[in-house]
Amino acid sequence: MPFPPRDAAANSTLGFEKLVAVSVDPSWRTRGLHAAAKLTGLDITIPPQPQVSDEFVRAFQNLGAAEGQRTPQPGSARAWLAHLDLLKYVITSQVETALIVEDDVDWDVRLRDQMRLISDNVRNYTHTHEEDTTPFGLDWDVLWLGHCGSVTEDSMPHPLVYADDTRCEAELYSGWSKYFLQDKVPAGHRQVQASFVTVCTFAYGVTKASAQKLLALLSKGGDEAFDVSLSAYCRDGSLHCLVINPQVFNHYEPPAQHGYTSEVHAGDGLGRSAEEPDFEKVKGATGNIVESARCSALFNETCMRPPSDM
Protein backbone atom coordinates (compact mmCIF):
# COMPACT_ATOMS: atom_id res chain seq x y z
CA MET A 1 0.00 0.00 0.00
CA PRO A 2 1.46 3.43 -0.91
CA PHE A 3 2.30 5.91 1.81
CA PRO A 4 -0.23 8.68 2.43
CA PRO A 5 0.87 11.76 0.44
CA ARG A 6 1.94 13.75 3.52
CA ASP A 7 4.12 10.87 4.75
CA ALA A 8 5.70 10.42 1.32
CA ALA A 9 6.59 14.12 1.46
CA ALA A 10 8.71 13.36 4.53
CA ASN A 11 10.79 10.58 2.96
CA SER A 12 14.53 10.76 2.21
CA THR A 13 13.95 12.72 -1.02
CA LEU A 14 11.16 14.88 0.43
CA GLY A 15 8.43 13.42 -1.73
CA PHE A 16 10.25 13.89 -5.03
CA GLU A 17 11.59 11.02 -7.08
CA LYS A 18 15.05 12.60 -6.94
CA LEU A 19 16.68 15.21 -4.72
CA VAL A 20 19.64 16.67 -6.61
CA ALA A 21 22.15 19.44 -5.94
CA VAL A 22 23.79 21.90 -8.32
CA SER A 23 27.50 21.75 -7.59
CA VAL A 24 30.64 22.06 -9.69
CA ASP A 25 33.32 20.75 -7.30
CA PRO A 26 33.63 19.21 -3.83
CA SER A 27 34.10 21.98 -1.27
CA TRP A 28 33.00 23.18 2.18
CA ARG A 29 29.58 23.64 0.55
CA THR A 30 29.16 20.00 -0.40
CA ARG A 31 30.74 18.69 2.82
CA GLY A 32 28.29 20.77 4.85
CA LEU A 33 25.46 19.66 2.58
CA HIS A 34 26.29 16.00 3.15
CA ALA A 35 26.59 16.52 6.92
CA ALA A 36 23.18 18.21 7.10
CA ALA A 37 21.65 15.50 4.88
CA LYS A 38 23.05 12.73 7.08
CA LEU A 39 21.71 14.40 10.23
CA THR A 40 18.19 14.74 8.79
CA GLY A 41 18.13 11.48 6.82
CA LEU A 42 18.06 12.95 3.32
CA ASP A 43 19.38 11.27 0.17
CA ILE A 44 20.93 13.97 -2.02
CA THR A 45 22.52 13.19 -5.39
CA ILE A 46 25.20 15.52 -6.76
CA PRO A 47 25.48 14.78 -10.49
CA PRO A 48 28.83 15.61 -12.11
CA GLN A 49 28.77 18.88 -14.02
CA PRO A 50 30.44 19.26 -17.43
CA GLN A 51 33.34 21.66 -17.82
CA VAL A 52 32.28 24.93 -19.44
CA SER A 53 34.77 27.04 -21.38
CA ASP A 54 35.11 30.79 -20.98
CA GLU A 55 34.15 31.13 -24.64
CA PHE A 56 30.90 29.27 -24.07
CA VAL A 57 30.11 31.44 -21.06
CA ARG A 58 30.73 34.60 -23.11
CA ALA A 59 28.51 33.31 -25.90
CA PHE A 60 25.71 32.65 -23.41
CA GLN A 61 26.21 36.09 -21.90
CA ASN A 62 25.67 37.68 -25.29
CA LEU A 63 22.29 36.04 -25.95
CA GLY A 64 19.72 38.79 -26.32
CA ALA A 65 22.29 41.61 -26.16
CA ALA A 66 21.58 42.68 -29.75
CA GLU A 67 17.90 43.13 -28.85
CA GLY A 68 18.77 45.29 -25.85
CA GLN A 69 17.96 42.63 -23.27
CA ARG A 70 19.80 42.50 -19.95
CA THR A 71 22.65 40.02 -19.83
CA PRO A 72 24.35 38.20 -16.94
CA GLN A 73 27.81 38.85 -15.56
CA PRO A 74 30.30 35.95 -15.93
CA GLY A 75 29.67 34.38 -12.51
CA SER A 76 25.91 34.61 -12.94
CA ALA A 77 26.18 33.12 -16.43
CA ARG A 78 28.17 30.14 -15.13
CA ALA A 79 25.63 29.53 -12.38
CA TRP A 80 22.80 29.78 -14.94
CA LEU A 81 24.47 27.20 -17.19
CA ALA A 82 24.93 24.87 -14.20
CA HIS A 83 21.17 24.99 -13.55
CA LEU A 84 20.48 24.24 -17.22
CA ASP A 85 22.81 21.24 -17.08
CA LEU A 86 21.03 19.92 -14.00
CA LEU A 87 17.66 20.31 -15.75
CA LYS A 88 19.11 18.19 -18.57
CA TYR A 89 20.14 15.60 -16.00
CA VAL A 90 16.61 15.53 -14.57
CA ILE A 91 15.13 15.11 -18.06
CA THR A 92 17.48 12.29 -19.08
CA SER A 93 16.90 10.53 -15.73
CA GLN A 94 13.23 10.09 -16.73
CA VAL A 95 12.00 10.88 -13.23
CA GLU A 96 8.47 12.15 -12.66
CA THR A 97 9.54 14.85 -10.18
CA ALA A 98 12.79 16.28 -8.83
CA LEU A 99 13.80 18.79 -6.20
CA ILE A 100 16.81 20.86 -7.27
CA VAL A 101 18.85 22.53 -4.54
CA GLU A 102 22.01 24.63 -4.58
CA ASP A 103 25.05 23.20 -2.79
CA ASP A 104 25.23 25.89 -0.09
CA VAL A 105 21.60 25.36 0.91
CA ASP A 106 20.45 24.84 4.49
CA TRP A 107 17.19 23.80 6.14
CA ASP A 108 15.63 23.31 9.55
CA VAL A 109 16.17 20.04 11.43
CA ARG A 110 12.35 19.82 11.49
CA LEU A 111 12.15 19.84 7.67
CA ARG A 112 10.22 16.57 7.45
CA ASP A 113 7.40 18.02 9.56
CA GLN A 114 7.45 21.15 7.41
CA MET A 115 7.18 19.05 4.24
CA ARG A 116 4.14 17.18 5.58
CA LEU A 117 2.38 20.53 5.97
CA ILE A 118 3.51 21.64 2.52
CA SER A 119 2.08 18.45 1.04
CA ASP A 120 -1.28 18.97 2.75
CA ASN A 121 -1.55 22.57 1.65
CA VAL A 122 -0.19 22.41 -1.88
CA ARG A 123 -2.62 19.57 -2.57
CA ASN A 124 -5.45 21.67 -1.11
CA TYR A 125 -4.38 24.77 -3.01
CA THR A 126 -4.35 22.91 -6.34
CA HIS A 127 -7.50 20.88 -5.53
CA THR A 128 -5.63 17.62 -6.02
CA HIS A 129 -8.05 14.70 -6.15
CA GLU A 130 -7.71 12.22 -3.29
CA GLU A 131 -7.12 9.41 -5.79
CA ASP A 132 -3.93 11.21 -6.84
CA THR A 133 -1.46 10.12 -4.18
CA THR A 134 1.50 12.23 -5.37
CA PRO A 135 2.78 14.25 -2.39
CA PHE A 136 2.17 17.65 -3.99
CA GLY A 137 -0.10 16.86 -6.92
CA LEU A 138 1.22 17.79 -10.35
CA ASP A 139 -0.70 20.97 -11.13
CA TRP A 140 2.38 23.21 -11.16
CA ASP A 141 5.55 23.71 -13.17
CA VAL A 142 7.74 25.02 -10.34
CA LEU A 143 7.28 24.41 -6.62
CA TRP A 144 9.54 27.06 -5.08
CA LEU A 145 10.57 25.89 -1.60
CA GLY A 146 13.82 27.82 -1.13
CA HIS A 147 14.25 31.48 -2.02
CA CYS A 148 15.42 34.79 -0.57
CA GLY A 149 12.10 36.59 -0.81
CA SER A 150 8.74 36.57 -2.55
CA VAL A 151 6.23 39.37 -3.08
CA THR A 152 2.70 38.98 -1.74
CA GLU A 153 0.12 41.26 -3.38
CA ASP A 154 -3.59 41.68 -2.68
CA SER A 155 -4.23 41.30 -6.42
CA MET A 156 -2.70 37.80 -6.49
CA PRO A 157 -4.90 34.69 -6.47
CA HIS A 158 -5.91 34.04 -2.89
CA PRO A 159 -3.06 32.35 -0.99
CA LEU A 160 -3.65 29.37 1.28
CA VAL A 161 -2.45 30.23 4.79
CA TYR A 162 -1.54 27.44 7.21
CA ALA A 163 -0.08 27.17 10.70
CA ASP A 164 3.59 26.25 11.06
CA ASP A 165 5.25 27.14 14.35
CA THR A 166 8.72 26.28 12.98
CA ARG A 167 8.88 29.39 10.81
CA CYS A 168 11.05 32.40 11.54
CA GLU A 169 9.24 35.33 13.15
CA ALA A 170 8.78 38.27 10.77
CA GLU A 171 10.79 40.68 12.93
CA LEU A 172 13.74 38.25 12.80
CA TYR A 173 13.52 37.73 9.03
CA SER A 174 16.46 38.64 6.79
CA GLY A 175 15.60 39.85 3.32
CA TRP A 176 13.93 42.46 1.16
CA SER A 177 10.48 40.83 1.46
CA LYS A 178 10.40 41.14 5.25
CA TYR A 179 7.61 43.72 5.21
CA PHE A 180 5.39 41.59 2.99
CA LEU A 181 5.58 38.92 5.69
CA GLN A 182 4.79 41.40 8.44
CA ASP A 183 1.81 42.81 6.55
CA LYS A 184 0.42 39.80 4.69
CA VAL A 185 1.33 36.52 6.44
CA PRO A 186 0.08 35.95 10.02
CA ALA A 187 2.66 35.17 12.68
CA GLY A 188 3.26 31.44 13.12
CA HIS A 189 1.99 30.70 9.62
CA ARG A 190 3.28 30.07 6.11
CA GLN A 191 1.32 30.21 2.90
CA VAL A 192 1.12 28.61 -0.52
CA GLN A 193 0.91 31.36 -3.13
CA ALA A 194 1.43 32.09 -6.80
CA SER A 195 4.84 33.47 -7.74
CA PHE A 196 4.63 37.14 -8.67
CA VAL A 197 8.22 38.14 -7.89
CA THR A 198 10.42 35.49 -6.27
CA VAL A 199 14.22 35.71 -6.05
CA CYS A 200 16.95 33.06 -5.57
CA THR A 201 16.69 29.39 -6.56
CA PHE A 202 17.93 27.74 -3.38
CA ALA A 203 15.40 24.89 -3.80
CA TYR A 204 12.72 24.33 -6.44
CA GLY A 205 10.69 21.35 -7.54
CA VAL A 206 10.06 20.44 -11.17
CA THR A 207 8.12 17.71 -12.94
CA LYS A 208 9.07 15.59 -15.93
CA ALA A 209 7.02 17.86 -18.20
CA SER A 210 7.98 21.17 -16.62
CA ALA A 211 11.73 20.46 -16.71
CA GLN A 212 11.43 20.43 -20.51
CA LYS A 213 9.54 23.74 -20.37
CA LEU A 214 12.12 25.36 -18.11
CA LEU A 215 14.98 24.20 -20.29
CA ALA A 216 13.36 25.55 -23.47
CA LEU A 217 12.58 28.94 -21.92
CA LEU A 218 15.65 29.52 -19.79
CA SER A 219 18.19 28.42 -22.39
CA LYS A 220 17.30 31.61 -24.28
CA GLY A 221 19.30 33.70 -21.79
CA GLY A 222 18.66 37.41 -22.11
CA ASP A 223 18.34 38.37 -18.43
CA GLU A 224 20.63 39.17 -15.51
CA ALA A 225 20.45 35.80 -13.72
CA PHE A 226 18.77 32.39 -13.77
CA ASP A 227 16.45 33.17 -10.86
CA VAL A 228 15.45 36.55 -12.30
CA SER A 229 14.58 34.97 -15.63
CA LEU A 230 12.66 32.13 -13.96
CA SER A 231 10.72 34.65 -11.88
CA ALA A 232 9.78 36.60 -15.02
CA TYR A 233 8.43 33.47 -16.74
CA CYS A 234 6.44 32.67 -13.59
CA ARG A 235 5.03 36.21 -13.48
CA ASP A 236 3.96 36.36 -17.14
CA GLY A 237 2.22 32.97 -16.98
CA SER A 238 4.64 31.06 -19.18
CA LEU A 239 5.18 28.82 -16.17
CA HIS A 240 2.75 27.91 -13.39
CA CYS A 241 4.80 28.55 -10.24
CA LEU A 242 3.83 28.03 -6.62
CA VAL A 243 5.83 29.43 -3.71
CA ILE A 244 6.03 28.49 -0.04
CA ASN A 245 6.34 31.78 1.83
CA PRO A 246 8.36 32.18 3.99
CA GLN A 247 10.84 29.70 2.59
CA VAL A 248 11.90 26.37 4.11
CA PHE A 249 15.35 26.39 2.45
CA ASN A 250 17.87 29.22 2.53
CA HIS A 251 21.57 29.49 1.82
CA TYR A 252 24.28 29.18 4.47
CA GLU A 253 27.05 31.77 4.45
CA PRO A 254 30.46 31.63 6.15
CA PRO A 255 31.36 34.80 8.07
CA ALA A 256 32.13 37.76 5.82
CA GLN A 257 34.84 38.86 8.26
CA HIS A 258 36.73 35.68 7.40
CA GLY A 259 36.91 36.74 3.77
CA TYR A 260 33.89 34.97 2.32
CA THR A 261 32.55 36.06 -1.07
CA SER A 262 30.07 33.88 -2.96
CA GLU A 263 31.28 32.08 -6.09
CA VAL A 264 28.78 33.99 -8.20
CA HIS A 265 29.85 37.39 -6.85
CA ALA A 266 33.52 36.46 -7.24
CA GLY A 267 32.83 35.39 -10.83
CA ASP A 268 31.04 38.68 -11.41
CA GLY A 269 34.17 40.58 -10.33
CA LEU A 270 32.78 41.65 -6.94
CA GLY A 271 35.75 40.53 -4.88
CA ARG A 272 37.76 37.39 -4.25
CA SER A 273 36.91 34.84 -1.62
CA ALA A 274 39.39 33.53 0.91
CA GLU A 275 40.58 29.96 0.45
CA GLU A 276 37.93 27.43 1.36
CA PRO A 277 39.80 25.70 4.26
CA ASP A 278 39.31 28.98 6.14
CA PHE A 279 35.56 28.24 6.25
CA GLU A 280 35.65 24.61 7.33
CA LYS A 281 35.74 25.13 11.11
CA VAL A 282 34.25 28.62 11.45
CA LYS A 283 30.52 28.83 12.07
CA GLY A 284 28.60 30.97 9.60
CA ALA A 285 24.90 31.81 9.48
CA THR A 286 21.71 30.94 7.64
CA GLY A 287 18.98 33.50 7.22
CA ASN A 288 15.42 32.61 8.27
CA ILE A 289 16.13 29.02 9.33
CA VAL A 290 15.52 28.73 13.07
CA GLU A 291 17.27 25.40 13.75
CA SER A 292 19.91 25.00 11.03
CA ALA A 293 20.69 21.45 9.96
CA ARG A 294 24.19 22.48 8.82
CA CYS A 295 25.12 24.18 12.06
CA SER A 296 23.57 21.42 14.12
CA ALA A 297 25.57 18.81 12.20
CA LEU A 298 28.85 20.71 12.10
CA PHE A 299 28.84 22.72 15.33
CA ASN A 300 25.96 21.34 17.41
CA GLU A 301 24.54 24.88 17.53
CA THR A 302 21.94 27.09 15.89
CA CYS A 303 23.10 29.89 13.60
CA MET A 304 20.21 32.02 12.37
CA ARG A 305 21.47 35.18 10.69
CA PRO A 306 20.57 38.43 12.50
CA PRO A 307 17.53 40.17 11.01
CA SER A 308 18.05 42.65 8.18
CA ASP A 309 16.25 44.22 5.26
CA MET A 310 18.66 42.71 2.72
Instruction: Residue count of the chain, please give it.
Output: 310
What residue ranges of the chain have pLDDT lower than 50? Answer: 268, 270-271
Q: What is the pLDDT of residue 310?
A: 79
Q: What is the pLDDT of residue 266?
A: 54
Asked if residue 144 lies in contact with residue 242, where contact means CB atoms within 8 angstroms, the answer is yes
Radius of gyration of the chain (CA): 18
Cite the DSSP H helix spans in 155-194: 178-184
Q: What is the pLDDT of residue 256?
A: 74
Cα–Cα distance, 62 to 85 (Å, whole number):
19
Bridge partners, residue 193, by sequence: 243
H helix or E strand, kind and range, residue 285: strand 285-286
Cα–Cα distance, 19 to 21 (Å, whole number):
7
Longest alpha-carbon distance in the chain? 56
Asked if residue 24 lies in contact with residue 82, where contact means CB atoms within 8 angstroms, the answer is yes
Cα–Cα distance, 186 to 182 (Å, whole number):
7
Q: How far is CA 179 from CA 107, 108, 116, 153, in A?
A: 22, 22, 27, 12
Q: What is the pLDDT of residue 153?
A: 83
Q: What is the pLDDT of residue 112?
A: 98
Tell me, letter by letter, the H, E, C secondary structure of 43-56.
CCECCCCCCCCHHH
Q: What is the pLDDT of residue 113?
A: 98
Residue 9 corresponds to which amino acid? A
Burial class of residue 137 in the structure, from the number of CB atoms within 10 Å of its CB (0-12 exposed, 13-18 middle, 19+ buried): buried
Cα–Cα distance, 244 to 21 (Å, whole number):
19
Q: What is the pLDDT of residue 245?
A: 97
Cα–Cα distance, 253 to 245 (Å, whole number):
21
Write the pLDDT tens digit of every residue in 91-103: 999 999 999 999 9
Claim: this prediction has a pTM higher than 0.85 = yes
Cα–Cα distance, 288 to 107 (Å, whole number):
9
